[in-house]
Structure 1
Amino acid sequence: MEQAIWTISTQNDFLRMRTTRVKSFTDEVRQLFTDLFDTWPTVAAYGIAAPQIGSPRRVFIWKGITMQDPEIIINPKIIRARGELKDYDGCLSVPGIYGPTRRAEYIELSGTDINGQPWRRGFEGFDARIIQHEVDHLEGVLFIDRIDSLDDLYTLEELSERGKDGQPQYEKKPLTDDLRHFIESRRRPLPGHALIW
């Protein structure tokens, strides 16, 4: 069943809780899989973590840049990371706000698929960034905790002119004072810019 996405303006405390491992594929867990698949086509995102639809389970759905269909990953664990890239980040639970975060350039992840089969795979570039963002959700961490400064955050304003390809164009705008105060009150900065999972 399609679920609403929980945001920091309505469900901040729940989004900050650490999730629990899936130990068996109960009816509740299988319903979570269905809910994630049903919610997926209703949002414009690269991933949705279980807490974002109200579940305390260590599960997320994602779709990498070269994948045809989204996949669900259960009990993910980053077991190796290297390199560092500072690049774009945004989140359905922090709607309309964007900013650069520092994340590992390459990660190795272990997890289980929806058939209960364990696996271990490597991801790099933007796919690694997506995975790290979703794993953060499972630890109660939001991308706003990983920015170097509130000054790095911005919103996007659609311009009246369209691009040569006919697509909308956007301009970055700094946060208003009210929005900045709101984010500051809900942010939990990580020490320095450490890549912590």
Structure 2
Amino acid sequence: MAIKIIVNDPDPILREKSKPVPTITPNIIKLLDDMADTMYDAEGVGLAAPQIGILKRVIVMDCGDEHGLIELINPEIIEREGEMLGPEGCLSIPGLRGDVSRAARVKVKGLNRHGEEIVIEGTELLARCIQHEVDHLDGILYTDLAVNMYRAVDEEHEEG
């Protein structure tokens, strides 16, 4: 396990579409471990593989709720409901925040580290985090969606 360097905007890798993971290998397991270590070290609540320079459809999240650490390989949002407007930040865009409209409830499916399909339903911060991280896999940054941008006052709890 290792802490990786987080890629910052405007690095072009953040704008590329990530490739699906065909097989869960020891390298993918190590990637999950390294991503979790990196996210916790940076005091974030989410991290997508492109943020450490790897174009694979892999995300990790920990919103400090009952779910704890969530690891998703090949995540796909399968349901969206409602709407909420709220602040977002990003470990790849330090010092800034923006208000982004997101679905208020989402359901996402993906694989865990054992190759088993899991489905997670999220609201509030978890819903926002899921959408933010899945966007990273498609080369979309929250700044593309923000209705306004402002300087961050508190660097805690940044999404990936």
TM-score by length of 1: 0.73
- Which residue is equivalent to 1:5? 6
Aligned counterparts of 1:125 and 1:106: Cα–Cα separation in 2: 7
1:91-102 to 2 correspondences below 5 Å: 91-102=90-101
- Superimposed CA distance per residue, residues 66-88 of structure 1 (whole angstroms, 9 cap, x where no aligned partner): 13732211111001101111101
Distance in 2, Cα, partners of 1:157 & 1:66: 23
Measured at CA, do residues 129 and 68 of structure 1 come closer, stay the same or move farther in structure 2, by a change above 3 Å?
closer
What is the match of residue 19 of structure 2?
A: 20
Once the two structures are aligned, what percentage of the paired residues are identical? 33
- Equivalent residue letter for 1:27: P
> Is residue 152 of structure 2 the alignment partner of residue 153 of structure 1?
no
Instruction: Judge conservation of contact 2:39–2:45 (CA < 8 Å) in 1.
Output: no
Do 1:65 and 1:127's aligned partners in 2 also have CA atoms closer than 8 Å? no
Which amino acid is the alignment partner of residue 155 of structure 1?
A: R
CA distance in 1, matches of 2:50, 2:149: 23
- Asked if 2 retains the 8 angstrom alpha-carbon contact of 1:32 and 1:55, the reply is no
CA distance in 2, matches of 1:35, 1:137: 17
Instruction: State whether residues 96 and 149 of structure 2, in contact with CA within 8 Å, keep that contact through their aligned partners in structure 1.
Output: yes
Kindly tell me: are residues 88 and 41 of structure 1, through their superposed partners in 2, closer, same or farther at Cα, counting changes over 3 Å?
Answer: same
Alignment match, 1:74: 73
Deviates more, 1:123-132 or 1:33-42: 33-42
CA contact (8 A) 1:60 1:73 kept: yes
Secondary structure at the counterpart of residue 74 of structure 1: strand
Instruction: Please list every run of 5 or more consecutive structure 2 residues that lacks an aligned counterpart in the other structure.
Output: 155-160
Superposed CA offset, 1:27-72 (max 9, x none): 3322212211221321121101000011111001101231373221
Question: Which blocks of at least 5 consecutive residues in structure 1 are unaligned?
Answer: 159-197
Aligned length: 153
1:96 touches 1:156 (CA, 8 Å); kept in 2? yes
**Equivalent residue number for residue 87 of structure 1:** 86
TM-score normalised by the chain length of structure 2: 0.89
Q: Deviations over 1:87-111 (max 9, x none)?
A: 0111011110001000000111111
Task: Check the 8 A contact 1:65/1:126 in 2, yes or no.
Answer: no
Larger relative contact order (Cα-Cα within 8 Å, sequence gap ≥ 6) = 2
- The CA RMSD measured in Å over matched residues stands at 1.5
In structure 1, C-alpha distance between the alignment counterparts of 2:4 and 2:64, rounded to whole Å = 24
- Cα distance in 2 for partners of 1:157, 1:41 equals 20
* Structure 1 ranges of 4+ moved more than 6 A: none
